[in-house]
Amino acid sequence: MTPGLPALTEADVQWTAVRAQGPGGQNVNKVASAVHLRFDIVRSRLPADVRQRLLALGDARITGEGVLVIKAQKFRAQEHNLWDALQRLNALVASVAAPPRQRKATKPTWGSQQRRLQGKSLRGATKALRGRPRDG
């Protein structure tokens, strides 16, 4: 996790056990080993700026009410899937924890401007050769 930002634990989320999808035979059909983890971003204890950046992600897993839903079904054991979902949640929060760097406006160098104009001239000359031949 990021310094200054607490790691999210089981106490911060709601989770339910569901049956996993895909191949797996009897284990998949009988055991609810997959985990649906629900994290309410709006009511969380995260700082306001981190909550805003998390809601602004545009991630399909975030509902209209601001609840992040993560489904973990990689492992056969429910505890492992819960741990995996918490790790993915903490990774997502860590990705938006640091504010984005502000861009400094810069001007192109004289050399880069000259190279750009030279490239445009060459491209224009190439295209001029494609037209009808002119007399004169």
Q: Tens digit of pLDDT for each residue in 66-101?
A: 899 999 988 888 899 999 999 999 999 999 988 889
Tokens of 37: 């983890």
Distance CA 54, CA 84 (A): 19
* Interval 6-21 mean pLDDT: 80
Instruction: Say how far residue 6 (Cα) sits from the centre of its chain.
Output: 20
Q: How confident is the model at residue 23 (pLDDT cuts 50, 70, 90)?
A: confident
Tens of pLDDT, residue by residue over 35-45, are 999 999 888 88
pTM of the model: 0.67
Distance CA 59, CA 92 (A): 10
Size of the chain in residues:
136
- For the chain, the average pLDDT equals 87
Q: What are phi and psi of 113, to 5 degrees?
A: -65, -40
Asked if residue 126 has pLDDT above 90, the reply is: yes
CATH number for the domain whose boundaries are 10-97: 3.30.160.20
Identify the three-state secondary structure at position 34.
strand
Contacts of 20 (CB under 8 A, 6+ apart): 28, 33, 34, 73
Res 20: pLDDT: 80
In the chain, pLDDT over 90 holds for what percent of residues?
40
